[in-house]
Amino acid sequence: MLTSFYIAGAVAVAATLLMVMSPNAVHALLYLIVSLLAVALLFYFLGAPFVAALEVIVYAGAIMVLFIFVVMMLNLGRQATERERHWLRPSVWIGPSILAAILVGEVVYLLGRAGLPTPGVEQIDPKAVGKVLFGPYLIGVELASFLLMGALVGAYHLGWRRPKLEMHDDVYSRAARTPSGGAPLHRRADRPVGPA
């Protein structure tokens, strides 16, 4: 049990190191997913199965999908398909696959000895977590909901494509077209807008 804990920790550290040192965003994402899964296994070993499940679902599921979605979306256009094929060539998968295979082996080992109590650490079941979460920490839950709502509105606002405005003249033309904006702003010629 202790050895598998340390193996999972080593996998997490190795995957994170490889992620930080990887020059390519997609490769780094692959390693980051493995790292998150390893950390989820660590949570399980530490007696927090609910948090482990949450880590897999929210982090490795939702947040990483968002990352991959944006990384792939920003490469539309010129030679994007070729580049993606180059990124995802089979040799890239070897490193994350080995690390993930170690994790899968540990999960199988854990499933084999399911039901046995974990020595050393006490399990904190989701019921206790829920009691504390909605008891003394209720204000924190509300604040977290504020934060998520703000993030939702902010992301929507930032991602909103303004209709019928040119891209590079966005700020200037919007200021010129507002009815209360007064005199239209003129673009200064000495200041380059857009990619220099």
For another protein, the binding residues (CB under 8 A) are 16, 19-20, 25, 28-29, 32, 35-36, 39, 42-43, 46-48, 50-51, 54-55, 58-59, 62-63, 66-67, 70, 73-74, 121-122, 124, 128-129, 131-133, 137, 140, 144, 147-148, 150-152, 154-156, 158-159, 161, 167-168, 170, 191, 193-196
What span, in angstroms and rounded, lies between the C-alpha atoms of 32 and 55? 13
Nearest distance from residue 144's CB to another protein, in Å?
4
Q: Count the alpha carbons within 13 Å of 56 in the hemisphere toward its beta carbon.
A: 13
Residue closer to another protein (CB basis): 8 or 108:
8
Instruction: Name the residue nearer to another protein (CB basis): 129 or 176.
Output: 129
Q: Between residues 135 and 180, which has the closer beta carbon with respect to another protein?
A: 135
The minimum distance between CB 189 and another protein, in angstroms, equals: 14
CB 96 within 8 A of CB 16: no
Specify whether the CB–CB gap between 106 and 8 falls below 8 A.
Answer: yes
DSSP line for 10-27: HHHHHHHHHHHH-SSHHH
Closest residue by Cα to residue 41 from 79, 7, 86, 92: 7
Closest by alpha carbon to 101, among 21, 34, 33, 16?
34
Q: How far is the CB of 116 from another protein (least distance, A)?
A: 18
The least distance separating another protein from the CB of residue 104, rounded to whole angstroms, comes to 20
Considering the complex, what minimum distance in angstroms separates the CB of residue 105 from another protein? 22
